[in-house]
Amino acid sequence: MNLGTRKLLDRSFTALGVGSIVIMGMMLLVVLMPILSNGITANVFRGTIEHRKLLYNEFRRGDHAELQRQIAESDAARRKAYAMMAAFEAEMKLMSEEKHAGYQEKYDQVKSAMKALLGPVPGEELPELTRFKYGQTRWSKAEERLHELLYEKQWDYSNPDVEAKEYDVSRAASFQGTSLVKLFPYVESNIDRMLLPEWTVYWGFITDSSIDSHMFGGIWPEIQGTIFLAVGAMLFAFPLGVIAAVYFTEYAREGFFNSLLRSANSTLAGVPSIVFGLFGLAFFINTLKVSESKSVLAGSLTLAIMILPTIIRSAEEAILSVPKTYREASLSLGSSKWNTIVTVILPAALPGILTGGVISLGRAAGETAPIIFTAAVSVGSAIGLADVFSSPTPALSWNIYNLASEHEAASEIRHVQYGMVLALVTIVLMLNLSAIILRARISKKLKG
């Protein structure tokens, strides 16, 4: 091969490596960007009058007089629409039986679309579920509902070779010649006045409890559950891990037992997380009976086992990176070994140990599989600190799965799911970021 080709190969090789790293960076962006941009919409969005009503009714938040004024304003706009509907109902009663039946079904669709958009029709009985008590609280959703009111979805099966395509049919067209036909242009042009959208910053998304299984409200119970589980896991794993690391670095002598212990540590690090969940169920709940069924305590213990190897490893590294001279200096001043460890080595290694601890905390907060069988429930309110020994808790990681995969209206509450993912990712990445900063400061300090 001549030199040119060799150099070309060399450059391509470099490009391959750089490309891989760039792809990794892009993947990080591709995953984080939608989570960030959509997650924000859980907090900041155009809220309608229905959102403000909900906040006032459920949490007594907002200015009552102003709210009443706005309700009056929107009701004024809505009244006309309801009047049109009432007029059409009256008209239908006068129709022939056959014609009546033909319109009834279509009219029911219109009525339910109106209910979905604006909430229950005044004068009707209030429904049981909160989600049916209010119209659309978010303007973006309201626009979708408006579209459903104005157009009917139809499927095009004309070409059997390709998948059926959907297309829209105007509802107004199917009510041609009746009084209802005026309703559609009226609602379309007056929807602003009916819903009065305004930009809303809803911090309550973080601090409120959920209402009607996350249809409305916030995610505080999940955030709190995540904090309880992660901190609980640290309470068990951190002291244990640091002490074990002290043993491994300062006391362990080369030998069969210690290589066995080290192997055990790396085996533990490699156990699949779902197996921790199985173990937690079989050991902590079914055998030790730390609680009757799932509980925060059982979940924390399971997570603690999972993060233990990480803590041990990072603490070991931190202790080993303490300069040997500190140890010598302390010993030469007549300090005992244990004293040296406690007063010199551990303080010097503390930032490194904390770095590992913080990263493990993030891992415990983000992990799902171990808590499925041991601690997590899908619906529930925030639990008190006293209940951690006996009750399960909702947690961000589990509820993201649950809302995205098992909720009956999963696609309706994407914003809540995104908001939860954002909250979880923020917690975890903040912890990691602080670990990275902490480590940078250590290396600076060691350089002098």
Partner 1 sequence: MQLSAEAIETPKTAQTAVRDIYLPPERKKISGGGVPHLSAKNFSIYYGEFEAVKKVNADILSKYVTAIIGPSGCGKSTFLRSINRMNDLITSCHTTGALLFDGEDVYGKFTDEVLLRKKIGMVFQKPNPFPKSIFDNIAYGPRLHGVKDRKTLDGIVETSLRKAALWDEVCDRLDKNALGLSGGQQQRLCVARTLAVEPEILLLDEPTSALDPKATAKIEDLIQELRGSYTIMIVTHNMQQASRVSDFTMFFYEGVLVEHAPTAQLFTKPKDRMTEDYITGRFS
Partner 2 sequence: MNGDSPATAGRSSAFIVSARKRKLQKITRMAGESTLFLIAAVVAIIVLFIFYFVARDAVPFFQIRGFSEFFTKTDWYPADDPPRFGALAIIYGSLMVTAGSALIAVPMGVSAAICLSDVIPFSVRQYVKPIIEMLAAIPSVAFGFFALVILAPLLQNFGGPILMWTWWLIASPFLLLAVIVVSELLSTSIQDDSRRRVVQRILVAVFGLLSLLFLFFVGKHLQEIQILTGTNALNVSIILSFMALPTIVSVSEDALQAVGRDLREGSYALGATRAETIVKIILPAASSGILAAVILGIMRSLGETMVVWMASGNSSHVPEPWYNYLESVRTLTATIAGDMGEADQVTGSARFHVLFAMGLLLLVISFISNFISERIVVRQRKVLSGQ
From the list partner 2, partner 1, none, pick the one residue 112 interacts with, judged by a Cβ distance below 5 to 8 Å according to partner type: none
Q: Which of residues 389-448 bind partner 1 (CB under 8 A)?
A: 445, 448
326 binds, among partner 2, partner 1, none (CB under 5 to 8 A by kind): partner 1
Q: In 3-state terms, what secondary structure has residue 402?
A: helix
For the bound state, the minimum distance from the C-beta of residue 247 to partner 1, rounded and expressed in Å, comes to: 16
d(CA 249, CA 243): 10
Residue 184 beta carbon to partner 2: minimum distance, rounded to whole angstroms: 30
- Residues in 124-153 at the binding interface with partner 1, rule: CB under 8 A: none
Which of 221, 200, 197 is closest to 42 using CA atoms? Answer: 200
Site for partner 1 contains 348 (CB under 8 A)? yes
Quick check: 323 binds partner 1 (CB under 8 A)?
A: yes
Query: Of residues 20, 339, 381, 426, which one binds partner 1 by CB under 8 A?
Result: 339
Q: Tokens for 78, please give them.
A: 């809505």
Task: Kindly tell me which residue out of 159, 325, 405, 411 binds partner 1, with binding defined by CB under 8 A.
Answer: 325
331 near partner 1 (CB under 8 A)? yes
Measured from the CB atom, the residue of 173 and 437 that comes closer to partner 2 is: 437
Q: Give the residue, chosen from 96, 158, 176, 332, that forms a contact with partner 1 under the rule CB under 8 A.
A: 332
Give the three-state DSSP class for 165.
Answer: strand
Q: How far apart are CA 283 and CA 124, in angstroms?
A: 54
- 211, interface contact from partner 2, partner 1, none, CB < 5-8 Å by kind: none
Strand 44-47 to 198-201 pairing: antiparallel
Which residues does residue 393 pair with via DSSP β-bridges, in sequence order?
A: 376
Does 4 bind partner 1 (CB under 8 A)? Our answer is no
Cβ density class 142-176: b for 16+ within 10 Å, e for less = bbebbebbbbbeeeeeeeeeeeeeeeeeebbebbe
Encode 301-314: b = buried (16+ Cβ within 10 Å), e = exposed: bbbbbbbbbbbbbb
* Contact partner, 325, from partner 1, partner 2, none, Cβ < 5-8 Å per class: partner 1
Helices 49-59 and 64-94 pack at an angle, to 10 degrees, of 120
Comparison of 114 and 348: residue with beta carbon closer to partner 1: 348
How many helices and strands, by DSSP H and E, does the chain display? 19, 6
* Residue numbers 197-256 binding partner 1 by CB under 8 A: 253
What whole-number distance in Å separates Cα of residue 378 and Cα of residue 252? 45
Sketch the per residue contact string, 250 through 289, with partner 1: x for CB under 8 A, - otherwise: ---x------------------------------------
Nearer to partner 2, 67 or 278 (CB): 278
138 — phi, psi (to 5°)?
-115, 135
Q: Which residues contribute to the site for partner 1 (CB under 8 A)?
A: 253, 323, 325-336, 339, 343-344, 347-348, 445, 448
